[in-house]
Structure 1
Amino acid sequence: MRWRQQGAERWPGWAAWALAIGLFMALWLYCADLFPWAADYPKSLRIPAARWITAVTKWLLNDATFGVFTFSEFTRFIAALLDVPYRFVLSLISTGFLRGEGSQAVQILPPLSWVAVIGCGAILGQRAGGRRLAALVVGCLAFVLVFGQWQSAMVTLASILVAVPLGVAGGLLMGILAFRHPWFERAIRPVLDLMQTIPVFAYLVPILILFGFGPTAAVVATLIYAMPPMTRITELALRRVPSELIDLGHMVGCTRRQMMWRVMVPASKDALMVGVNQVIMLSLNMVIIASMIGAGGLGFDVLAALRRLDFGAGLEAGFAIVALAVALDRLSQAFAHLRPEPLAGGGIAARHPYLLSGLALILAAGLAGLAVPALQSWPEAFELSTGTFWSRVVEWINVNFFDTIEAVKNAVLLNLLVPFKRFLGGLPWAGVTALLAFAGWRLGGWRLGALIAGLAFLIAATGQWEKATITVYLCGISTVFAMLIGVPIGILAAERDGVWTPVRVVIDTLQTLPSFVYLMPAVMLFRVGDFTAMIAVVAYAVVPAVRYTVLGLKGVDPRLIEAGRAMGCTRGQILRRIKLRLALPEILLGLNQTVMFALSMLVITALVGTRDLGQEVYIALTKADPGRGLVAGLAVAFIAIITDRLISASARAARARLGLGMT
């Protein structure tokens, strides 16, 4: 009786899906004859969005004015303002302070020596997390130094030290405004979605046109990419401040400003530091793309190595970025959990011992560097390199396993990639749009259905449907493989404590390695094409599949596991019937993030011959066509938003079915 009742409750949903799929199949089979416009969007009705965007960009550059000054002068003024702190930090840690320009420049004061930089890193580590963190920071910086990446790393670090404070401050202020004014939050939500999902390549051209070529344009691009997480986390953290603290602030007579800066922001410190950490990580992810518009540093080294297919040199520069990322990540996390020490009595030395130690170290290292040049700049004779070794490893694999690699590549291409690509390419845009809208309506109501329908329609109406299907095909196949690899690894790591530690080290490294680094071995082993792109995307996107699976399984209530054991369940039954079911929402969120990682990587794989939206964005960058690039970038963003909304709605539905509440 109970089974029949449940079936009756579920039947209307299944019936609706069956009807929707039946209508879709009918449209697919007969649209070419009855409704040709439903199969291929008519060219005469396309929206000329690319031409409009290009015209607006030219108008902003040539004609837009605020009366006293033009828009172009305003953007160049912003670039000049950003250039001041960047040049100061760059002079301090990399080039030294110079007099004159170009080849006529004369160094009047040397930069901080490697001894001073590593020593200051050790002092920060000791202050934030003790000896272990100090040793980790020293180890990371020493790795960069010994392997000959110091100068490039300092150029990269200069960009990070400028971009991160600006990104944190801008994201904090926008988050506070979104918290205080609901209309502002509603207005910036879609903007933040687009900032996080539009490929960076797409807005490099407008940034170059408006801000010029150079490091400051790279800082602007980094801010656009890295600021949204700080804004979202700030708003969320402020909304989660306990009401008791707010009531206490009102009771003691706090003004609105005091309530924000002395009560709510300090109470949200832990969450806000998570946002700071995200800004740091995303800024480091940008270093290679930023090098395309003049940032230089480690990103330029990786990009140059990719162009000449020098895997060893690119891997070493990539590992240097990883070392910087690990040091900055651990420092930011440690400062997030650091509790303020009570002010000591006595003089300034007792109150600020770490600051004075750092200044003393800088002065002593500077004087020592004048006497012993090796203490100022690490001698090239002492530098190490494993680049040749890694290049020979790839060469050995090519020589000994070429036939096997080609056989696997051709088998996957002919039996999986090409058929799936043709299948998606043959689907009618109108039917796919309607089916996606129906899925949105079933999962999240009419608003979600309307949003998805509108975004899918815009992809077709702007002429991007064919390339979008190729993007979806590559992203879909790569996501499936990433989940098939990542979920079992996540289950193993969650079930066996000894496995999680090495797995965490590996996925942390994979997450911080620049995405371009994945392309070099893939190209050297598999040549160019869709299979190469898929391999690179899977390697890049497998991390969230592992991480969220572990998060979900480790978050299962231990009382439920004990109840299962008391009922006589085996270990496998507890995993299948309790843990995996309760971890399903987190695994779905991992699927969501895997898709986002895959989409971001697909734009970069345009460099290895894919014919999707990523290539369209890259072509627009090479031709300096802002309209073409932004339209293709918006199409990628729309795919990301559709996927995100559908999977998020599925995760909410799964949590509701399991009685886990809403998060």
Structure 2
Amino acid sequence: MRRWITWSTGFWVGLFAVTWLLSSYSFQLYKALDARWIVRFPKAYELPTESRISALLDWLVDSAHFVFFTFRDLTRAIAALIEIPYQFLRNLLIEGFQSGLGAEAVQIAPSLSWIAVIGVAVLIAHFARDLSLGALTGVCFLYLAVFGQWASAMVTMASVLIAVPIGAVGGLLLGIAAYRSPLFEKLLRPFLDLMQTVPVFAYLVPVLILFGFGPVAALVATVIYAMPPMVRVTIVALKAVPEEIKEAGRMVGCTRHQMMWKVLVPSASPALMVGVNQVIMLTLNMVIIASMIGAGGLGFDVLASLRRLDIGGGIEAGLAIVVMAIALDRVSQAFASRGVHEHRSGSYLKRHPWTSTSFAIIVGTLLLGQFIPAVQTYPKDLTITTGPFWTASIEWINVNFFDAFEAIKLVVLQGLLLPVKKFFTGIPWAWGIIATGLFAWKLAGWRMGLMAMLFMAFISASGLWGKTMVTIYLCGVSVFLASLIGIPLGIWAAERPRAGRVILGLMDTLQTLPSFVYLIPVVMLFRVGDFSAMIAVVLYALAPAVRYAAFGLREVPAHLIEAGRMAGCTPRQILFRIKLPLATPHLLLGLNQTIMLALSMLVITALVGTRDLGQEVYIALTKANAGQGIVAGLCVAFIAIIADRVVHAAADGQRRRLGL
């Protein structure tokens, strides 16, 4: 054991020492040998991946023909199919139903009144759990009306009501197919990895080319982004159904179809609702990004405010998304934990009281709205705005604390960011490939080491080594700081239940805030640059570090803690010698999720001046260059996959060593 520890320590020290020497003296080595290829991959040998992908998409759109239609006809038909229910929901929620076009359009039916929407939302929440959840949901939707965000919120709601069913049902069907066929699951897993790790910006351009500019293209991109968790949850949930339940289904003579839809899916429904919850949250997280290719609503309001540097308007619209996310998150969680209720007998009203009440509210408000306009549309003179408050607050902070912020920024830049950036950007591409392979091989085996080397070789051959190193540097520093802050907070939350409720509540808020919302106050306080990007990434990626640390400590078996007390351990010794070692696998999984969120946020921080892969993806979006965006997105995905596999392998190894 001692020999293994000595050898392992020597391996890591040696790997770091060689990397540091090469990164520090790569320029001198290049000059001495007159070999530019040491630092930068030779231009003549770079892969033409970008041009090939762009050419493929051009061929699909312009030249690909099936028997009776073109590929463009197929995508446009899909877009038209999605647009029908989407437009119906927009009409139902906010625009009303019209006959005719343009100036000749005549309204034949109004939209649902704001009171009806709030009333139905309250009834759904009450049905899902209890009156308190109904009250919370009602307050959240009332906030949208009172603060003047109702119209935009209903456009966003229409998108959510289309994207979530498509993502949930599509994910369920793919998950069922993967459960039935292990081969299909193996083939599907790499695509799920790419869908979850390729930055959203990277596939906005292909979606835009294939489906055109508008809300339908935004919905397609949203479904691609939000579907993978549902697929993964479905596979895990179906595999977790107890064998006794399956055996009971076989004994009563269930066919394969009946076994799936009448036994397995109902038994796994609580876990499947967790997947639906994830689809909802990812859909809401996508609304701002989707507004770049034609989605309106709250996402467009936030994006427009960011472009105008309108602090108050951006924060106000962002908070409206948060409020909507809180309501939908709590309701979907309530449905996930809801038990089976008894079926009522008697008349229709007794058997379906919730549906009957909803119908009565809709009809009642529709009739009253014809005579009292305030019932149909929330009065504008009663709306409240917090925009000036947020703008004034940021201005006051800037005036009074500008020097302090600049001093902190300078210290962090000179003491942390710039040295780490110099280290990573100085690593020669050839050694970077080898070092990554050795690192992955040591933690996850030779197969992962080989895969990591191939991924890094692709990055080098794509001409993006320098930008990749900047991405790794920013992500590494941000993850380090998020873990440094998050793990102690998680320990505090686990050890002090009262503080835990506050801390975990704050993490709920941070997780529901759209990623773009972080950029507005950060840019106003710290200007653009790497420091602002780092602050935004740390805030966005902090929650998993806190949650997994708290969960891991709470999952430590009570009998082990009691054994420590009986052995005379102090509370400090119990924490550092029993709880934290046993919680290490959860801490590593929290690190994994922190890395994933940091990488996803880095693409968005390209808007504040970072020069990494995120900037490359964003430039591709502005130029509508699908090849450039997909190649840069694949580079980010490969970094994420390497990190995910290595950290998971480290967590599994730690579990085995602890006998868990």
C-alpha change, 1:653 and 1:399, in structure 2 (3 Å) is same
Deviation string, structure 1 residues 331-380 (Cα, Å, up to 9, x no partner): 11111122232222212112111111111110011111111100111111
Cα distance in 1, alignment partners of residues 497 and 20 from structure 2: 48
The 5 Å alignment of 1:226-625 reads 226-625=226-625
User: What is the CA deviation profile of residues 391-422 of structure 1, one whole-angstrom value per residue up to 9, with x for unaligned ones?
Assistant: 11110111111112112212221222122111
- Offset of residue 13 of structure 1: 3.6
State the match for 1:7 in structure 2. Answer: 2
Q: What is the SS of the residue equivalent to 2:67? A: coil
Q: 1:365/1:43 Cα in 2 relative to 1: closer, same or farther (>3 Å)?
A: same
Distance 1:392 1:505 in 2: 27
Cα offset, 1:21, TM superposition: 5.3
Equivalent residues of 2:19, 2:427 under 8 A apart: no
Residue type of the alignment partner of 1:154:
M
Query: Distance in 2 between the 1:430 and 1:79 partners?
Result: 45
Secondary structure of the 1:397 match is helix
Local SS of the residue matching 1:427: coil
Partner secondary structure for residue 108 of structure 2: strand
Q: 1:639 to 1:101 in 2, by over 3 A?
A: farther
Q: Secondary structure at the match of 1:439?
A: helix
Secondary structure of 1:610's aligned partner: coil
Shift of 1:27: 6.1
Residue identity matched to 2:498? G
SS across alignment from 2:143 = helix
- Shift of the 605–263 alpha-carbon distance from structure 1 to 2, 3 Å rule, reads same
Of 291-300 and 346-355, more deviation after overlay is shown by 346-355
Secondary structure at 1:286 match in 2: helix
Amino acid paired to 1:417: L
Amino acid at match of 1:398: N
| Alpha-carbon distance between aligned partners in 1 of 2:242 and 2:104, rounded to the nearest angstrom | 60
| Cα distance change of structure 1 residues 353 and 642 upon mapping to structure 2, 3 Å threshold | same
Query: What is the rounded CA distance, in whole Å, between the counterparts of 1:425 and 1:216 in structure 2?
Result: 40
Q: Distance in 1 between matches of 2:256 and 2:246?
A: 11
The amino acid that maps onto 1:10 is: I
TM-score when scaled to structure 1? Answer: 0.96
Corresponding residue SS for 2:227: helix
Residue aligning to 1:198:
198
What CA distance in whole angstroms lies between the structure 1 residues aligned with 2:36 and 2:311? Answer: 49
The amino acid that maps onto 2:198 is I
Match runs of 1:22-37 below 5 Å: 32=30, 37=37
Q: Name the CA distance, whole Å, in 1 between partners of 2:384 and 2:457.
A: 55
Q: Which moved more, 1:343-352 or 1:9-18?
A: 9-18
Judged with a 3 Å threshold, the aligned counterparts in structure 2 of structure 1 residues 211 and 658 are, in CA distance, closer, same or farther, namely same
Quote the offset at 1:102 in angstroms.
4.2
CA distance in 2, matches of 1:37, 1:244: 62
* Match runs of 1:85-164 below 5 Å: 85-164=85-164
Superposed CA deviations along residues 509-541 of structure 1, whole A, max 9, x for unmatched, are 111111111111111111111111111111111
Measure, in 1, the Cα distance between the counterparts of 2:480 and 2:588: 13
> How many Å apart are 1:188 and its aligned residue?
1.1
Distance in 2 of aligned mates of 1:448 and 1:320: 43
Q: Are the aligned partners of 1:544 and 1:591 in contact in 2 as well (CA < 8 Å)?
A: yes
The 1:126/1:420 distance shift into structure 2, 3 A limit, reads: same
Shift of residue 36, structure 1, vs aligned partner: 5.5
Distance in 2 between residues matched to 1:379 and 1:200, nearest whole Å? 38
**Stretch of structure 1 that moved more, 188-197 or 24-33:** 24-33
**Is 2:62 the counterpart of 1:62?**
yes
Aligned pair in 2 of structure 1 residues 19, 505: CA closer, same or farther (>3 Å)?
closer
> C-alpha offsets along residues 220-256 of structure 1, whole Å, 9 cap, x if unaligned?
0000000000001101111111111111111111111
Instruction: Report the CA distance between 1:22 and its aligned residue.
Output: 6.3
Specify every segment of 5 or more residues in structure 2 that has no aligned partner in the other structure, as ranges.
none
> Number of aligned pairs?
655
Q: Distance in 2 between matches of 1:332 and 1:25?
A: 49
* Letter of the structure 2 residue corresponding to residue 482 of structure 1: A
Q: Report the residue type matching 2:474 in the other structure.
A: L
Query: Quick one: distance in 2 between partners of 1:180 and 1:637?
Result: 28
Contact 2:147 2:384 in 1 (8 A): yes
Q: Counterpart amino acid of 2:456?
A: A
Change in Cα spacing, 1:101 to 1:410, as seen in structure 2 (3 Å) is: farther
Residue number in structure 2 paired with 1:3 = none
CA–CA distance in structure 2, aligned partners of residues 370 and 491 of structure 1 = 57
Shift of the alpha carbon at 1:8? 2.7
- Counterpart of 1:248, as a letter, is A
Gaps of 5+ in 1: 1-5
Instruction: Please report how far the alpha carbon of residue 38 of structure 1 lies from its aligned counterpart in structure 2 after TM superposition.
Output: 4.3
Q: Offset of 1:462 from its aligned partner?
A: 0.7
| Residues 153 and 22 of structure 1, relative CA distance in 2, 3 Å threshold | closer
SS of the residue corresponding to residue 98 of structure 2 reads strand
Structure 1, residues 613-648: CA drift from partner, whole Å, max 9, x if none? Answer: 111111111111000011111111111111111111
Question: Take 2:553 and 2:368, find their aligned partners in 1: how far apart are those partners?
Answer: 54
Cα deviation digits, residues 130-173 of structure 1 (max 9, x gap): 11111111011011111110110000000000000000000000
1:55-77 residue CA offsets vs partner (Å, 9 max, x unmatched): 00100010011121000110000
Distance change in 2, residues 1:384/1:21 (3 Å): closer
Secondary structure of the residue that 2:339 maps to in structure 1? Answer: coil
Residues 450-509 of structure 1: CA distance to partner in whole angstroms, max 9, x if unpaired?
Answer: 111111111111111100111111111111111111111111111111111111221111
Tell me how far apart the structure 1 counterparts of residues 40 and 5 of structure 2 sit (CA, whole Å). Answer: 36
Aligned amino acid, residue 361 of structure 1: I
Percent of aligned pairs with the same amino acid: 56
Matched residue SS, 1:583: helix
Change (3 A) 1:25 1:364: closer
Moved more, 325-334 or 410-419: 410-419
Tell me which residue corresponds to 2:638: 638
* Separation (CA, whole Å) in 2 of partners of 1:525 and 1:26: 37
- Over 3 Å counting, the alpha-carbon distance change for 1:587 and 1:101 in structure 2 is farther
Indicate conservation of the 8 Å contact 1:510/1:543, yes or no: yes
SS in structure 2 at match of 1:388: helix
Paired AA for residue 8 in structure 1: R
8 Å Cα contact 1:38-1:431 kept in structure 2: no
Aligned residue for 1:288, secondary structure, equals helix
Task: Evaluate the alpha carbon distance shift between residue 92 and residue 484 of structure 1 in structure 2; reply closer, same or farther with a 3 A threshold.
Answer: same
- Secondary structure class of the residue paired with 2:107: strand
Q: In the TM superposition, what is the alpha-carbon distance from 1:9 to its structure 2 partner?
A: 3.9
